[in-house]
Amino acid sequence: MLLEKLGEEKVILDPRLTKDRRRDTWVMSILDELQGNPPDSPRCVVRPVSTEDVVHVVNACRETRTPLIPFGLGSGVCGGVRTFCAAVVLDMSSMNRIRAIDVDDLTVTLEAGVRGVDAEEALGKRGLTLGHYPQSMELSTVGGWVATRSSGQFSTAYGSIEEMVLALEVVLPWGDVFRGRLTPRAAAGPDLKHLFLGSEGSLGVITAVTLSVRWRPQSRALGAFHAPTMETGLEAQRYVIQSGWTPAVMRQYDPTEAQRLFPEHTRGDEALILVVHEGPASMVEAERASCRRLMEEAGCSEAAEEAARKWLEERNKVVGFEPFLKAGLILDTVEVASTWSRISRIYRRVIESLRGVEGLLVASAHSSHCYRSGVNLYFTFAAKPPEPSKRGEVYWECWRRIMEATLDEGGSIVHHHGIGRVRKPWLPHEIGQSGVGLLRALKRALDPFDIMNPEVLIPDD
Ligand SMILES: Cc1cc2nc3c(=O)[nH]c(=O)nc-3n(C[C@H](O)[C@H](O)[C@H](O)COP(=O)(O)OP(=O)(O)OC[C@H]3O[C@@H](n4cnc5c(N)ncnc54)[C@H](O)[C@@H]3O)c2cc1C
């Protein structure tokens, strides 16, 4: 049916060609693959080049009750993509045109499969920037950002993806195309685009995204500070933000990460805060001076700004999980968030709890996204169980400890990576049974045959 309608170029059946569309970058899927147990190949991979193509695929899948898994570039880290033999993968990477750039309204309309760096390069030629720079800029698509509620490294000033999206085009599970109106704001009932922000492919296929963009900043300045303890540094960051300053970047590494990543700039057993200020030159200078004063008043002291330069230069270099998995380790990163009053306790509880795991080698964290009312924490764990076969068990034990300690202390189980498969067991604790009921009701109403990425996000009945 699909082959007849769309042709061989767009419908790929050969398992040798579809095999790199079987999973995202979730550690457990990589481990399974390394252990010779990869996810089953999908029935086929379809590469649409237009919204009309996507409508055909969605209609065909609905009529035949075939599960459909949207795929951006597979950089998700939560198991949002993991194929099985009944499924069709909808590879969005050929829908990669830039539909319009408007330099008066400061908007860009991108097809969902446009890669982050390509969007940024096209905007850069016009003196513009997205202001959204996830570490996976080269590895992810605009549609993927919306589907996972992504957050970029400069979000403290520029906001996360939900603050940039002005309008979406979405193919709904019954084949209609929803096109949001291009407006900076409307009070036309609930904002329907928010149904798809974070929907992880389970409620429809995002085919185009209009983002509000910005002129490239006139000026940039850097700062770095030693914080005697994690708590002191978090308090210092709170003072800065709550005083009305919004540095583009304000990150704090705990002593373990500071020593590992910035040994030459770290003082003893202290935490390290890095700051990037961007904007009009006069604002940057004022923000830098005030930030320095507030940090010092809070008990931090100035460090070499070279540390922030190093972070800027190296921030997107990633080693990836494979070499560690091949060396017999199990590891992952887990981001959570909370209000300022709870965040230090969450940090202590999680680190302490992880230390009780058999074979644990690393338990560390940094903060990277600040808000007036709170901040995130991004934990890293690595362990080497005595027997490699125990890695799955140890993995889930680490996740359980992080999730439970965070929830016990009143935090939120996720900041920006999404739910996918890995966080599904804890979602009911995050949103409550009424939240789960609401999510299931939405899913039933929009996708009654459960064709859209059926195994992710929504807790099983
Ligand atoms: C090295 C590395 C660094 C990262 N850094 C960051 C970071 O700084 N910030 C951040 O937020 N995330 C980060 N991530 C996570 C990841 O890049 C994001 O979740 C990203 O948004 C996923 O985009 P993708 O196009 O690769 O989507 P995929 O991984 O292909 O898909 C992710 C989910 O979205 C769904 N989906 C994808 N496209 C569509 C569509 N068009 N319509 C409907 N559903 C769709 C999929 O079904 C899946 O459930 C990082 C990942 C890696 C590996």
- Interval 413-424 mean pLDDT: 98
Ligand 1 binding pocket includes 251 (Cβ within 6 Å): no
Q: Whose CA is nearest to atom 9 of ligand 1?
A: 134
pLDDT of residue 17: 84
Average pLDDT of the chain to the nearest whole number: 97
Q: Please determine, for residue 162, whether its predicted confidence score (pLDDT) is greater than 90.
A: yes
- The closest-lying atom of ligand 1 relative to the alpha carbon of residue 199 is 44
Nearest CA to ligand 1 atom 7: 134
pTM of the entire structure? 0.98
Beta strands in 2-64 (DSSP E): 11-12, 44-46
What pLDDT is stored for residue 451 in this prediction? 98
Residue 294, pLDDT score? 98
3-state secondary structure of 336: strand
State whether the beta carbon of 70 lies less than 6 angstroms from ligand 1.
yes
Please write the tens of the pLDDT for every residue from 212-267.
999 999 999 999 999 999 999 999 999 999 999 999 999 999 999 999 999 999 99
Average pLDDT on 130-141 reads 98
Query: Stretch 115-129: mean pLDDT, rounded?
Result: 98
With 90 as the cut, is the pLDDT of residue 154 above it? yes
Answer whether 192 contacts ligand 1 (Cβ < 6 A).
Answer: no
Question: Residue 150 CA: which ligand 1 atom is closest?
Answer: 11
> What's residue 15's pLDDT?
85
Residue 8 confidence class, pLDDT cut points 50, 70, 90 = very high
Q: What mean pLDDT is predicted for residues 83-98?
A: 97
Q: In ligand 1, which atom is closest to the CA atom of 75?
A: 26
Predicted local confidence at residue 16, as pLDDT: 84
Residue 104 burial by Cβ neighbours in a 10 Å radius (0-12, 13-18, 19+): exposed
- For residue 147, what are its two tokens? 């589907």
- Residue 132: pLDDT over 90: yes
pLDDT of residue 21: 96
What is the pLDDT averaged over residues 91-117?
Answer: 98
- Please report the pLDDT score of residue 79 as a whole number: 98
**Percentage of the chain modeled with pLDDT above 90:** 97
Q: Using alpha carbons, select from 326, 390, 315 the residue that is nearest to residue 357.
A: 390
For residue 323 the two structure tokens come to 């070499």
Tally of CB atoms within 10 A around 184? 8
Mean pLDDT confidence for 148-170? 98
CB 316 within 8 A of CB 244: no
Cβ–ligand 1 contact at 135 (below 6 Å): yes
pLDDT value at 460 more than 90? no
Mutate to test the pocket of ligand 1, among 53, 75, 319 (most ligand atoms within 8 A of CB): 75
pLDDT in tens, 299-347: 999 999 999 999 999 999 988 999 999 999 999 999 999 999 999 999 9
pLDDT at 1 over 90: no
Verify whether ligand 1 is closer than 6 Å to residue 77 (CB atom).
yes
Position 2 scores a pLDDT of 92
The C-alpha atoms of residue 350 and residue 403 are separated, in whole angstroms, by 8
| Strand partners of residue 364 | 380
Average pLDDT over residues 155-174: 98
Query: Does any ligand 1 atom lie closer than 6 A to the CB of residue 200?
Result: yes
Encoded amino acid at 381, one letter: F
Radius of gyration over alpha carbons of the chain, in Å? 22
